[in-house]
Structure 1
Amino acid sequence: MSRSTAPSSRWVAAPVAALATVGLLTACSTPLASAEDTVIFAIKEDPTCLDPQQTSMTTALNIGRQVVDSLTDQDAETGEIVPWLAESFETNDDLTAFTFTLRDDVTFSDDTPLTATVVKANFDALAALGPAASLASQYLAGYDSTVVTDDATLTVNFSTPNAQFLQGTSTMTLGLVAEASAAATAEERCQSVIGSGPFVYDSYVPNDSVVIVKRAGYDWASTLREHSGEALVSTIEFPIITENGVRTGGLDSGEFDIIQDLPYADEARFDTDDFNLYAKANTGVPNSLIPNTSRPIVSDEAVRQAMLLGTDREEIKTLTGATNSEPPTSALTSSTTGFVSQADAMEYDPDAAMALLEDAGWIEGADGIREKDGVKLSVSVTAFYAQDVLETVQMQLAKIGIDLQLNMVTAGDFFGVIASGDYDFLGAALTRTDPDALRVLFSQAASSHWAIVDDAELEGVLAEQAITADAEARAALVEQGQALIIDKAYLIPTLETTQLHASVANVHGVAFDSASRIVLYDVRIAE
């Protein structure tokens, strides 16, 4: 298939406007590449915030991974944590102290060196950001201090054991930024950060495009990558194309080289020699309905249990065309460390679901929707993606007398709804390689929690697993947490999400990290 590098007229002028209104976003002096050395990667939504330490949005993290490096990396196949910016690391027995020895050849794109003092500035700033860095603050749960021994050596100390910190250092969420970025305000950092990665931010026009350019002199990539030295293309342009059909049409015509989130229904269309498909299952919490049990109807355990039993996950997979995805069988995905199947408790059983509702006093009305004391059995779910999954769930729950209203919003509005607590259910997933994802989502002590659940037993189990150094004891607690969540229907899992992207055939080197986020360091265009 021939490749066209002509950019879309919808956004081609945006980088010029960005330089005029926002300014050059980093101290990098790398010139823009020629069109032949440019990759056009159409993304599905505005990233909202370009700081990978603050954002939890997949789109933003896919871009941020190219700009920041991390102390460690994680092998996506084995789960092994390996050195990256830290050439070595060690932990004490109770996981309260983590010592890192840094490489001596790393610089940020403002030409400042990576030192132990800069790492300390990063972690101190993240601790100060608190809820503004919702995921990062959870990796740093119990953070006490970072002690600098010399320019290359530091120890990160916690007041209580932190079982998931080392894995956290492999993520872009704890990716390192220059001291100038660490000192900036949260709002300033959302516009741009200075990283040590193979690319630097060039321009960002909200709701239009992001452009990153190659970092000259880069030579400290993770050993898990295919090559060393500088990135293999000079520029990656990310036009923001929200309509699925426009993204797929642009890929088909050669206008785009890569597109984010190929719709499952279009997989067969692009499974040809003219294209490459990239699929990787998410780790963490599967795509689910996440409850706010402070709402009167949602607080009714019988309703939640009926929703759990009345959701046909096999049908969701079939009707959405998600051939690369799997029906979930627990509160963690099957690819997550610590996963234990709860399939028996989640088995599709609409008759049992209706019996639960009948016993709880929810009687079928004339329109098929159940009622109790004059109140309709109607709840809403707020989401910004996977509408096809939610529409299938809506259809299934209607069969047992539950009216599920869909509230589809923008990504920015979704996080605003979370902050307000004004929702019955959220439709979302949480991607984390570590099973501590359950605590992040459910613990009311976690600033980032999305589920609103008042359960002291669950709270205690999730808190305990996060500070348990013994692997077997921690696994038992993680298993107990999964069983509690499913037993009380604190989560209605729908689909184990698979990241599915596509490119034209002459694009090579697209890879996933351990958290199913895109790595573009090795990307190249074959002649």
Structure 2
Amino acid sequence: MNTFNIRKTFWILMPFIVMAILVGCGSDEAAEPAAKTEPAAASEPAKKAEPTAKTEPAKKDEPAKEAPAEDNVPASAKDVKEVPRNRTLVFTGWSDYYKTQHDNVENFNSWLPGNQHSRHAMNKGLTEYLFYTNLNNGELVPWIGESFEYNDTMDKIDVVLRDGVKWSDGVPFTANDVKFTVDMVIANSPDMNRSSAWADMIKSVDVTDDLHFSINLNRPDPRFFINQFGLGHENHTAIVAKHVWENEDAMTFANYDPEKGWPLGTGAYELVRSTPEAQIYDRRDDWWGVETGFTDLPGPERLLFIPVADDDVAGQLYIANDLDYGPPLLKGTFEAAKARNDSLRSFNSKGPEWGAADGCNFVLIMNNQKKHFDNVDVRWAINLGINRDEISNLAYEGGMPPVSLPISSYGVKQYLPLMQDIIDKYDAGTHDLDKSAARMEKAGYSKDSAGYWTKDGEKVEITLEIPSWMRPQGPILEKQLQTAGFDIVFKQGEPA
């Protein structure tokens, strides 16, 4: 791809960078940037069979591959121009998006549960957020919002919007759009995304004029605004266009009509095709960011969002230069792919932790209202039966550092000293089968003839459901807990 103006393009395409920062686990050291002139790629831990022979990169003047139009696609969505490969940014979803086809291809109502367009594709160029946060350094980046300020009691936030922002149909973006969105979500509680949380926290939204509004909270919450409207890439609070949505039933509105230019967005790209095989977003040269002098147009003329079935397929696409950015690869897949395509880049130049510090941890969740799991000693026994180092080494080849606290790599260095006394007291990361057994016996359990824990004639049976993108740890965790005396079966679930 041609070299982009990195400074101008960074925040326009920031969700790509954040995607790998959030999903790509790695060390706490500063991430090393990819070379400017080479396609960025994600990375990530554990062993896979090496991809097949190297495929030649796409030629510079070769048009980007597009999915064949289907008969049921509107004519306006089929009529897309040819864009050279070197002006097209090809990407796929987060690692929890492994699938062979896109779903909801004619429904872009991202406020409905299960609709993940805003998370995986729309936020790359069609949807813009009020503010973004650079999680590497904590910098707040105003975008379609210009500033915000809390009152002294931390229960009211005054917000100023950027002047000149427009929807893709030319209608100005205003504070009325924000108020309408918040009111709409709360009115549809608990059925819309975020609706229960917003109904609990937000008392009202008052509009002063087109560029000024205030959010009144039910109680003080100094983190509310950043968490809900200030991260941008991760909280997916997409403001909707009042002049379109006020005429629709928000719970049934599909927000898709190519003839009308729906879905609308304020971003530099518009959706021109949506099929199970591909979503195509083309750059709008009339984007408000250029009109107002806020920034230049982003470099790519097209964003091509494709589905990827699994880690192996992603590796093959990276080798062939048919994918520029996407899911973090398992460590073995990344190293094999990099050996065949030296342009492949991760956030760290050396392994075994190729990825950037992660914003999330892998967690084992138990329903505390279910029998057995409602006993704290049983939960501790399960925890003591887990060998985190073994999971890291076997499932991820040492590419993912083990953690025992519910804190991401971003905050662990800052928080650990403040929690050291708690860590020392509970030692939650310890693997100790004797202590695990002692906890079960304390809770009144004993082992049957097969070596499994039982109580009152009932065996502790566990179904360990792990989505496909986390499957490397499934068999190992299953074996560990079986050894600890639990009748557990690993089941690979759908992406979650």
Q: Normalized against structure 2, the TM-score is what?
A: 0.71
Query: What is the Cα-based RMSD across aligned positions, in Å?
Result: 3.3
Distance in 1 (alpha carbons) for counterparts of 2:448 and 2:64: 52
User: Against the structure 1 CA distance between its residues 79 and 376, is the aligned structure 2 distance closer, same or farther, given a 3 Å change threshold?
Assistant: same
Could you report, residue by residue, the CA deviation over 1:376-407 in whole angstroms, capped at 9, with x for unpaired residues? 22112333230112322111111111122233
Mapping 1:109-508, distance limit 5 Å:
109-135=168-194, 137-138=196-197, 141-167=200-226, 168-170=228-230, 171-172=232-233, 173-180=236-243, 182-183=245-246, 184=248, 185-189=250-254, 193-206=263-276, 208-220=277-289, 228-272=295-339, 273-278=342-347, 279-284=355-360, 286-321=361-396, 323-336=398-411, 339-340=415-416, 341=419, 343=423, 344-384=427-467, 385-411=469-495
Distance in 2 (alpha carbons) for counterparts of 1:383 and 1:247: 20
User: Against the structure 1 CA distance between its residues 181 and 169, is the aligned structure 2 distance closer, same or farther, given a 3 Å change threshold?
Assistant: farther
Aligned-partner residue type, residue 77 of structure 1? N
Distance in 2 (alpha carbons) for counterparts of 1:275 and 1:187: 42
Distance in 2 (alpha carbons) for counterparts of 1:135 and 1:38: 34
User: Against the structure 1 CA distance between its residues 114 and 256, is the aligned structure 2 distance closer, same or farther, given a 3 Å change threshold?
Assistant: same
- SS at structure 2 position matched to 1:291: coil
- SS at structure 1 position matched to 2:253: helix
Distance in 2 (alpha carbons) for counterparts of 1:182 and 1:262: 39
* Aligned residue in 2 for 1:4: 58
Once the two structures are overlaid, the 10-residue window that deviates more, 30-39 or 114-123, is: 30-39
Could you report, residue by residue, the CA deviation over 1:222-243 in whole angstroms, capped at 9, with x for unpaired residues? xxxxx93222112222221223
Could you report, residue by residue, the CA deviation over 1:195-214 in whole angstroms, capped at 9, with x for unpaired residues? 212222233334x3322222
Distance in 2 (alpha carbons) for counterparts of 1:135 and 1:264: 35
Correspondence for 1:107 among 166, 178, 185: 166
- SS at structure 2 position matched to 1:267: helix
Distance in 2 (alpha carbons) for counterparts of 1:136 and 1:193: 21
Distance in 1 (alpha carbons) for counterparts of 2:263 and 2:415: 35
* Aligned residue in 2 for 1:63: 121
* Aligned residue in 2 for 1:76: 135
Once the two structures are overlaid, the 10-residue window that deviates more, 140-149 or 389-398, is: 140-149
Cα drift, residue 264 of structure 1 = 3.2
CA contact (8 A) 1:217 1:229 kept: no
Cα drift, residue 307 of structure 1 = 1.1
Once the two structures are overlaid, the 10-residue window that deviates more, 53-62 or 160-169, is: 53-62
Cα drift, residue 31 of structure 1 = 5.1
CA contact (8 A) 2:189 2:199 kept: no
Aligned-partner residue type, residue 437 of structure 2? M
- SS at structure 2 position matched to 1:113: coil
User: Against the structure 1 CA distance between its residues 62 and 96, is the aligned structure 2 distance closer, same or farther, given a 3 Å change threshold?
Assistant: same
- SS at structure 2 position matched to 1:78: coil
Segments ≥4 residues shifted beyond 6 Å: 5-9, 56-59
CA contact (8 A) 1:56 1:135 kept: no
Distance in 2 (alpha carbons) for counterparts of 1:16 and 1:291: 44
* Aligned residue in 1 for 2:154: 95
Cα drift, residue 366 of structure 1 = 3.0
Q: Give the paired residue count.
A: 399
- SS at structure 1 position matched to 2:189: helix
User: Against the structure 1 CA distance between its residues 290 and 83, is the aligned structure 2 distance closer, same or farther, given a 3 Å change threshold?
Assistant: same
Aligned-partner residue type, residue 328 of structure 2? D
Cα drift, residue 118 of structure 1 = 1.3
Cα drift, residue 88 of structure 1 = 2.1
* Aligned residue in 2 for 1:39: 89
Cα drift, residue 356 of structure 1 = 1.1
Cα drift, residue 271 of structure 1 = 4.2
Could you report, residue by residue, the CA deviation over 1:56-77 in whole angstroms, capped at 9, with x for unpaired residues? 8888513132221111221222
User: Against the structure 1 CA distance between its residues 262 and 364, is the aligned structure 2 distance closer, same or farther, given a 3 Å change threshold?
Assistant: same
Aligned-partner residue type, residue 344 of structure 2? F
Which protein has the bigger strand share?
A: 1
Aligned-partner residue type, residue 165 of structure 1? F
User: Against the structure 1 CA distance between its residues 409 and 269, is the aligned structure 2 distance closer, same or farther, given a 3 Å change threshold?
Assistant: same
Aligned-partner residue type, residue 67 of structure 2? V
Q: Normalized against structure 1, the TM-score is what?
A: 0.67
- SS at structure 2 position matched to 1:269: helix
Distance in 1 (alpha carbons) for counterparts of 2:481 and 2:314: 32
Cα drift, residue 154 of structure 1 = 0.9
Cα drift, residue 362 of structure 1 = 2.6
Cα drift, residue 351 of structure 1 = 1.7
Distance in 1 (alpha carbons) for counterparts of 2:170 and 2:80: 13
* Aligned residue in 2 for 1:450: none
- SS at structure 2 position matched to 1:394: helix
CA contact (8 A) 1:309 1:353 kept: yes
* Aligned residue in 1 for 2:73: 19
Gaps of 5+ in 1: 222-226, 415-527
Structure with the larger RCO, 1 or 2 (CA within 8 Å, 6+ apart): 2
